[in-house]
């Protein structure tokens, strides 16, 4: 029986590999393209910008912290393949005011031309048990992780539709495919991106605009390090089952076109649910036993 299941999985993976060229859009030529990366001052966003720059793209980095943007600009410029390439930095909070976001995107297009590809990478994570997470944190994560992708996307789609070309990428998370212990505030904000992407793709495809979604696992970024400071035990143990990726590795996959393997990632992720549930139950039993022991004392 196990051999049959294993054979089915292998056949499924091979099928995805064979049909991916048929269902995927023609790769966007990055040489000379204008790529906007939100959340581009650090982590995955910065590495995506660097990867695109290595292919000859013109880059607009968007983030809140001006100092980090300047440092990121220097790092990206080291990846240049010709002396015509330009890195533009824009400091703005993409989750607050749509009109402001639209204004800075227009400025970027005036300087570097129409946006060929938008990478929505701005985001943040908060972990904690549902009843212990401050209520305003739920709102904050939806603003940053969801609206922080809606606003830049709205700002570029009109021009993309007029040009009948473009690529929009959303960087979600494995926690945006499977709801996990400790992520009751974070997971929904990342799940929302999948719904947005799937609905938007249906609207954009007739205009030769393609929407892709990346679901990276835990990645060694400043945000991940900050999140680890407050992770519940169950969440930390679940994270340890999959290891930590490097942002450079994730960036290469995202730029290559993450949507090709979206179905495969979802299938693999489902296999982990059983073990994750076991971890949560085991921690709960240990906690109850500890409380019972304290009462006896």
Catalytic residue (one of 173, 190, 210, 215): 190
Do the domain assignments include residue 137?
A: yes
Higher-confidence position of 65 and 9: 65
Mean pLDDT, the chain, integer: 85
Q: Pick the range with the lowest mean pLDDT from 49-53, 111-115, 172-176.
A: 172-176
Do the domain assignments include residue 3?
A: no
| pLDDT at 187 (0 to 100) | 95
Do the domain assignments include residue 284?
A: no
HEC states along 190-221? HHHHHHHHHHHHHHHHHHCEEEEEECCCCECC
For the segment 268-288, the average pLDDT, to the nearest whole number, is 69
Do the domain assignments include residue 155?
A: yes
166: pLDDT strictly greater than 80: yes
Do the domain assignments include residue 11?
A: no
Sequence-distant (6+) residues with CB within 8 A of 25 are 167, 210, 257
Catalytic residue (one of 125, 172, 187, 189): 172
| pLDDT at 24 (0 to 100) | 52
Q: Is 74 a catalytic residue?
A: no
* Cα dihedral across residues 201, 40, 53, 99: positive or negative: positive
| pLDDT at 163 (0 to 100) | 95
State the helix-helix crossing angle for 262-296 and 2-23, rounded to 10 degrees. Answer: 130
Assign 169 a pLDDT band (cuts: 50, 70, 90).
very high
Do the domain assignments include residue 297?
A: no
Which residue range forms the structural domain that includes residue 34? Answer: 29-259
| pLDDT at 181 (0 to 100) | 92
| pLDDT at 256 (0 to 100) | 78
| pLDDT at 59 (0 to 100) | 97
Q: What is the DSSP letter of 25?
A: P
| pLDDT at 12 (0 to 100) | 55
pTM for the predicted model, two decimal places: 0.81
Give the three-class secondary structure for 39: coil
Distance set, CA 180 to CA 82, 163, 236, 269 (Å): 44, 40, 11, 11
| pLDDT at 40 (0 to 100) | 92
Do the domain assignments include residue 210?
A: yes
Catalytic residue (one of 146, 151, 183, 186): 186
Q: Is 186 a catalytic residue?
A: yes
Q: Rounded distance, CA 270 to CA 110, Å?
A: 45
Q: Model confidence over 125-140: pLDDT tens digits?
A: 989 999 999 999 999 9
Residue 126 belongs to a domain with what CATH number? 3.40.50.720
Q: Pick the range with the lowest mean pLDDT from 65-79, 109-123, 182-196, 241-255.
A: 241-255
CB atoms within 10 A of CB 43: 23
> Looking at the 3D structure of the chain, how many domains does it have?
1
Do the domain assignments include residue 24?
A: no
């Amino acid at each position: 029986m196990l051999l049959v299941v294993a054979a089915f999985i292998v056949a499924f993976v091979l099928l995805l590999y064979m049909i991916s060229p048929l269902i995927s859009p023609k790769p966007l030529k990055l040489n000379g393209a204008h790529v906007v990366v939100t959340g581009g001052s650090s982590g995955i966003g910065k590495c995506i910008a660097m990867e695109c720059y290595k292919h000859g793209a013109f880059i607009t980095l968007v983030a809140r912290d001006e100092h980090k943007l300047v440092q990121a600009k220097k790092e990206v410029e080291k990846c240049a393949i010709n002396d015509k390439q330009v890195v533009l930095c824009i400091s703005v909070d993409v989750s607050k005011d749509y009109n402001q976001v639209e204004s800075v995107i227009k400025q970027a297009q005036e300087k570097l031309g129409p946006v060929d590809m938008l990478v929505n990478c701005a985001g943040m994570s908060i972990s904690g048990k549902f009843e212990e997470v401050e209520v305003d944190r739920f709102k904050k994560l939806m603003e940053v992780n969801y609206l922080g992708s809606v606003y830049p996307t709205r700002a570029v789609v009109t021009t993309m539709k007029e040009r009948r070309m473009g690529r929009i990428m959303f960087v979600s998370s494995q926690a945006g495919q499977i709801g996990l212990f400790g992520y009751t505030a974070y997971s929904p904000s990342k799940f929302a991106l999948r719904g947005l992407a799937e609905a938007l793709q249906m609207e954009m495809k007739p205009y030769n605009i393609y929407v892709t979604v990346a679901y990276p696992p835990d990645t060694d970024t400043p945000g991940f390090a900050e999140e680890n400071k407050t992770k519940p035990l169950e969440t930390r143990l679940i994270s340890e089952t999959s290891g930590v990726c490097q942002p450079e590795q994730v960036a290469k996959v995202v730029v290559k076109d993450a949507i090709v393997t979206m179905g495969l990632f979802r299938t693999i992720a489902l296999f982990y649910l059983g073990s994750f549930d076991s971890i949560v139950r085991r921690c709960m039993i240990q906690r109850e036993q500890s409380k019972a022991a304290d009462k006896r004392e």
